[in-house]
């Protein structure tokens, strides 16, 4: 049986896999089992931000594996404690960290923390628990994070949903104001909506949101699982907005390919958790933490400035592409989280690019999503844009130019 047949027979059919059997990967490149080389402009959904199998990351992982791979969270693991310290210091003074295994788990922690904070800081009507999320958002696939996700397609067949997530319009402060009541405890937002089609929040909206949360004594939670860890050209996406959240969550690229999630919270909310309130057997695994410490070392300002230069070049190239191809409606994004919004379904373009050795993705049916490793070069951009250009020309120009 072929690998595809085995997968079909033995796996639950939750993933629509592309026609690529991965043999190995290094930096911004992937090779398939036949030795064909691909330029990776997706990095495993924004996971391998410092490149596949980055040398320093591999060294850190290997030296931790030589020591031990697991130590229960009932004991001290130096590499884990060091990572917590580094992450907290990187965020803002007074923050405290909880380490999980994934994005959804990091968000679960944030939701539980907010709920407990609302229990300890009630309104005149008692306990506060309602969380305002946004239309088109994505926060994960556990029961709570799925209920917090503002896309109905994820809710199908799973009702009744976890209660008390309500939805405002993204970038519309009035719609948030309308939802605030005595039960509201937090607002949760992706500074750049990822799965929803690469929509960055506006600066004014984010500032207004911070002010509104302060005035209403509610927490502001940023889900930076897709857009954090350097993706926007700053370590945290929120640094682009000149405001700070009360809780920020990360995962995906934090350990560059090993499972790790983190919720970092300001002192005022972090301190409401006491022993036994939350936990995870594997959360903050020492090998993942060693990898994350190496990632934090690599993502310095020189590294980020370099990625911003490439980002600028990429956006300029894509804007040119837009003038050439009428089916491109808009180019959106920040740093190296980029969406090419089309007037057609993007799946044929993704397949075409793959056949030509370029890995990209399509989200929300019509948005080509580019999430390359932050180490890509201008030459890589030239290669990627040339293939996308060719895909659009071959698949659509004859139709759209008529
Ligand atoms: C913004 C955001 N939040 C949460 C998640 C869930 O992360 P995970 O798949 O690691 O649970 C994702 C995953 O795509 C995400 O993009």
Domain 55-298 annotated CATH 3.40.640.10 = yes
For residue 104, the CA-to-ligand 1 centroid distance in Å is 6
Provide the CB-side half-sphere exposure for 119 (13 A, CA): 8
Nearest CA to ligand 1 atom 4: 139
What is the CA(388)–ligand 1 centre distance, in A? 26
Per the CB < 8 A criterion, the answer to whether 181 and 123 are in contact is no
Q: Do domains 3-53+301-400 and 55-298 have the same CATH topology?
A: no
> Ligand 1: distance of its center to the CA of 227 in Å?
10
Q: What spacing in Å lies between the alpha carbon of 39 and ligand 1's midpoint?
A: 23
Supply the pLDDT for residue 400: 43
The Cα-based distances of 166 to 135, 142, 175, 185 in angstroms read 9, 17, 11, 11
Question: Which parts of the chain sit beneath pLDDT 70?
Answer: 398-402
Helices 378-392 & 347-355 angle (0-180, nearest 10): 120
With a 6 A CB cut-off, is 138 part of the ligand 1 pocket? yes
Return the structure tokens found at 285: 């695994």
Question: pLDDT tens for residues 209-255?
Answer: 999 999 999 999 999 999 999 999 999 999 999 999 999 999 999 99
From the CA of 140, give the closest atom in ligand 1: 6
Task: Please give the number of the atom of ligand 1 that sits closest to the Cα of 251.
Answer: 10
Tens digit of pLDDT for each residue in 330-350? Answer: 999 999 999 999 999 999 999
CA-nearest of 16, 42, 45 to 29 is 42
- The sheet with strand 29-32 has its strands ordered as 22-26, 29-32, 37-40, 358-359
Express the helix, strand and coil content of the chain in percent, nearest 5 each. Answer: 40, 20, 40
139 CA from centroid of ligand 1 (Å): 6
What is 3-53+301-400's CATH topology?
3.90.1150
Contacts of 101 (CB under 8 A, 6+ apart): 259, 260, 261, 280, 282, 283, 285, 288
Ligand 1 atom, smallest distance to 224 CA? 1
- Say yes or no: CB of residue 139 within 6 Å of ligand 1: yes
Q: Is 26 exposed, middle or buried (0-12, 13-18, 19+ CB in 10 A)?
A: middle
Q: Is 190 in the pocket of ligand 1 (CB under 6 A)?
A: yes
- pLDDT value for 402: 38
Reported as type and span, the H/E element at residue 349 is helix 347-355
- Give pLDDT, residue 401: 42
- Sketch the domain layout of the chain as residue ranges: 3-53+301-400, 55-298
Is the separation of the CB atoms in 104 and 141 below 8 Å? yes
For the record, the structure tokens of 313 come out as: 């070049």
CA distance linking residue 258 with residue 289, whole number of Å: 9
């Amino acid at each position: 049986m072929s690998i595809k047949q085995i997968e079909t027979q033995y796996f639950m059919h939750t993933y629509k896999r592309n026609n690529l059997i991965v043999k190995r990967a290094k930096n911004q490149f992937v090779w398939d089992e036949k030795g064909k080389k691909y330029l990776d402009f997706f990095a495993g959904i924004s996971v391998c931000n410092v490149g596949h199998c980055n040398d320093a990351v591999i060294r850190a992982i290997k030296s931790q594996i030589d020591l031990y791979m697991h130590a229960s969270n009932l004991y001290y693991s130096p590499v884990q404690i060091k990572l917590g310290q580094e992450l907290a210091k990187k965020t803002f003074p007074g923050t405290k960290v909880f380490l999980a295994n994934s994005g959804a788990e990091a968000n679960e922690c944030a939701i539980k923390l907010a709920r407990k904070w609302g229990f300890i800081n009630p309104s005149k009507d008692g306990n506060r628990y309602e969380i305002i999320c946004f239309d088109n958002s994505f926060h994960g696939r556990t029961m709570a994070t799925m209920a917090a996700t503002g896309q109905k397609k994820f809710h199908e067949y799973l009702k009744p949903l976890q209660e008390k997530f309500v939805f405002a319009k993204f970038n519309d402060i009035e719609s948030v104001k309308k939802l605030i009541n005595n039960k509201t405890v937090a607002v949760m937002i992706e500074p750049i909506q990822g799965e929803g089609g690469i929509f960055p929040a506006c600066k004014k909206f984010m500032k207004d949101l911070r002010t509104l949360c302060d005035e209403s004594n509610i927490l502001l939670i940023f889900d930076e699982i897709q857009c954090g860890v350097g993706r926007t050209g700053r370590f945290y996406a929120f640094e682009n907005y000149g405001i700070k959240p009360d809780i920020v969550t990360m995962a995906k690229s934090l350990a560059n390919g090993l499972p790790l999630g983190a919720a970092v919270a300001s002192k005022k909310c972090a301190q409401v958790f006491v022993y036994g309130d939350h936990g995870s057997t594997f959360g903050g695994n020492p090998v993942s933490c060693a990898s994350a410490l190496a990632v934090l070392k690599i993502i310095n300002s020189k590294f980020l400035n370099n990625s911003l230069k490439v980002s600028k070049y990429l956006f300029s190239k894509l804007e040119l592409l837009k003038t050439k191809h009428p089916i491109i409606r808009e180019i959106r994004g920040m740093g190296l989280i980029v969406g090419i919004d089309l007037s057609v379904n993007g799946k044929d373009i993704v397949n075409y690019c793959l056949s030509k050795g370029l890995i990209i993705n399509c989200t929300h049916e019509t948005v080509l999503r580019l999430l390359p490793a932050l180490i890509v070069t201008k030459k890589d951009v030239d290669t990627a844009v040339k293939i996308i250009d060719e895909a659009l020309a071959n698949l659509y120009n004859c139709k759209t130019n008529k």
